[in-house]
Amino acid sequence: MGSQNQVDVDRRSKASEKLASLVQSRTETLSLLTDLAGRQPFDSEPDTEQALRRFCEALIDYTASAHFQLYRYLSDNRERRQSVLAVADRIYPMIVESTDVILRFNDKYESMSLDNSVEFLAMDLSNLGECLAERIQLEDQVIKAMGGAIH
């Protein structure tokens, strides 16, 4: 019985580490979004393009982190609590939708010169910001269900 408790403690400890990594990645992404949005009105200067590239990299890292740190953990049957799985099952389709929005934004701006898209960037960032806000609320529901602290 004692060794099963240790396995559960170890599993929960690893889950907490994964959640902390996700929250850190998310915080970094939001910081870069704030920095980029603060550069309005946008121009196609190299420093704006560089800020956009850094943001896109962080955005994709965060999205991958969410997938691998949280959803893969749950889908690989490492989580046994039905209450956590129920929350994850309910919100996962909405997370997939937000991932699609994120990937479309990244595909549009990752390699395109701002000369061709600078007039769309403010609107696209606004839409992405709303998507990220909804996604974070959804992720926080899973984190809370897992008993994790949200920072």
User: By the 8 A CB rule, do 55 and 32 touch?
Assistant: yes
User: By the 8 A CB rule, do 71 and 139 touch?
Assistant: no
What gap in Å lies between CA 133 and CA 98, rounded to an integer? 10
Give a yes or no: residue 30 inside a domain.
yes
Give a yes or no: residue 31 inside a domain.
yes
Give a yes or no: residue 151 inside a domain.
no
- Average pLDDT of span 60-87: 82
User: By the 8 A CB rule, do 33 and 125 touch?
Assistant: yes
Q: Report the domain count for the chain.
A: 1
Residue 28, C-beta contacts closer than 8 angstroms, at least 6 positions apart: 58, 62
Give a yes or no: residue 150 inside a domain.
no
- Host domain of residue 106: 2-145
Length of the chain: 151
Give a yes or no: residue 75 inside a domain.
yes
Can you give the pLDDT at residue 112?
76
Whose structure tokens read 């929005």? 101
The pLDDT tens digits for 48-73 are 999 999 999 999 999 998 887 777 77
Can you give the pLDDT at residue 107?
94
Give a yes or no: residue 9 inside a domain.
yes
Give a yes or no: residue 15 inside a domain.
yes
Can you give the pLDDT at residue 145?
87
Most confident of 7-16, 41-50, 142-151: 41-50
CATH code at position 19: 1.20.120.1370
Give a yes or no: residue 125 inside a domain.
yes
Nearest to 98 by CA among 70, 73, 121, 67: 67
